[in-house]
Amino acid sequence: MVLGCFALLSCPSALASSPTNIFDPAATPARSIFSLSMLVLSVTLAIFLIVGGLLVYALIRFRQRPSDTEHEPAQIYGSNQIELSWTVIPILIVVMLFLSTTRVIWETEAANKPVGALDVIAIGHQFWWEYRYPKLGIVTANELHIPTSDPRDPTPTYLEMSSADVAHSFWIPRLAGKTDLIPNRTNTMWIDPPEAGLYLGQCVQYCGTQHAKMLLRVYADSPAEFAAWTRKQQQIPDDNIVGNPLAQEGKATFLRTACMSCHTVAGTSATGRFGPDLTHLASRETIASGPIENTPGNLRRWIEDPESMKPGSLMPAMHLNDRDLDAITAYLTTLH
């Protein structure tokens, strides 16, 4: 553990390039947690150095020498001063750490929600994330878009989190601490990155076979980009297949097979909620919660046999023929 810390501290350049670097906080909750951990780390490091130093000093200074005639050193019994100090000083340190931890918990959990805050409901599923924006009328999956938050006029995102099945946990190290998603319970957290960019994470509560491929992607968009994204997500991508007979055929096949009982495509009779909402699937960069790039080839392979890309995923292979696979893929790629 100690060696690990020294190794980490000695190669900050390798860390800086990591998109999940815990030493590079990019939002208020992550920053408070980071400074608290630095405080705890420095206090414990100081204690370690003092205790270790005294120990080494005593070992060397009072070691047995050939000139020693007595086998035992002078025996000293009891010292009120020393006993008092090794009781009082640790108590003061513990109280100090307790108070600073309480302050950070208070700051992150009881923070007042500003008027400009965005509400998002996050629901964990085996093995993907559902995101609903109740005030904006948007439902999406796996790629969370939020606006950047200017500290002078904060627009943080407040997440209300629960689970559709087992316990999951949401952790974007650069944005905030971990928050568990528990069935039949609502937990909340908030994030406010001032810098636009893609922040990565991963489900951090073992939730089944594909837990490791339940990745987290948070896109912090500038306010203008976020407004544009919102407008697009609110549209029903209905007309995109006009003049595209293969996609039209794919839509018909999609609505004729079991796809529609597990997936929603707004504006159609597909209203399933077991799998991710596909209304704007083509606007996402990845599929299946992060591990697979969203290309037509990957999409086709996924629909043909999800098991080959994410073994244990809860989407069954539908045993479609090549024609149907081509048509459905053509349809899904029009869902911008």
Q: Catalog residues that contact Cu ion under the rule CB under 5 A.
A: 168, 203, 207, 214
Query: How far, rounded to the nearest angstrom, does the alpha carbon of residue 325 sit from its chain's CA centroid?
Result: 33
CA atoms in the 13 A half-sphere facing the CB of 64 = 6
Asked whether the beta carbons of 230 and 280 are under 8 A apart, the reply is no
Task: By CB under 6 A, tell whether 287 contacts ligand HEC.
Answer: yes
> CA 308, CA 306: separation in Å to the nearest integer?
5
For residue 229, the partner it binds in ligand HEC, Cu ion, none, with Cβ less than 5 to 8 A by kind, is none
For residue 203, the partner it binds in ligand HEC, Cu ion, none, with Cβ less than 5 to 8 A by kind, is Cu ion
Q: Which of residues 303-332 bind ligand HEC (CB under 6 A)?
A: 303, 310, 313-316, 318, 328, 332
- Least separation in angstroms between residue 250's CB and ligand HEC is 9
Interface map 174-213 toward ligand HEC (x if CB under 6 A): ------------------------------------x---
For 186-233, the DSSP string reads -EEEEE--SS-EEEEEE--S--STTGGG-EEEEEEE-HHHHHHHHHHH
CA atoms in the 13 A half-sphere facing the CB of 272 = 15
Q: Which of residues 124-153 bind ligand HEC (CB under 6 A)?
A: 127-128, 141-142
Closer of 215 and 281 to Cu ion (Cβ):
215
Count of residues binding ligand HEC (CB under 6 A)? 31
- Quickly tell me which residue has 């109740």 as its tokens: 134
Residue selected from 262, 268, 282, 326 as contacting ligand HEC according to rule CB under 6 A: 262
For residue 168, the partner it binds in ligand HEC, Cu ion, none, with Cβ less than 5 to 8 A by kind, is Cu ion
Closer of 159 and 281 to ligand HEC (Cβ):
281
Residue selected from 45, 228, 236, 258 as contacting ligand HEC according to rule CB under 6 A: 258
For residue 262, the partner it binds in ligand HEC, Cu ion, none, with Cβ less than 5 to 8 A by kind, is ligand HEC
- Other residues' Cβ atoms within 10 Å of the Cβ of residue 79: 10
What amino acid is encoded at 307 in this protein?
E
3-class SS at 124? Answer: strand
**HEC profile of 50-90:** HHHHHHHHHHHHCCCCCCCCCCCCCCCCCCHHHHHHHHHHH
For residue 207, the partner it binds in Cu ion, ligand HEC, none, with Cβ less than 5 to 8 A by kind, is Cu ion
- Other residues' Cβ atoms within 10 Å of the Cβ of residue 267: 12
Residue numbers at the binding site for ligand HEC (CB under 6 A)? 127-128, 141-142, 210, 254, 257-259, 262-263, 274-276, 278, 281, 284, 287-289, 299, 302-303, 310, 313-316, 318, 328, 332
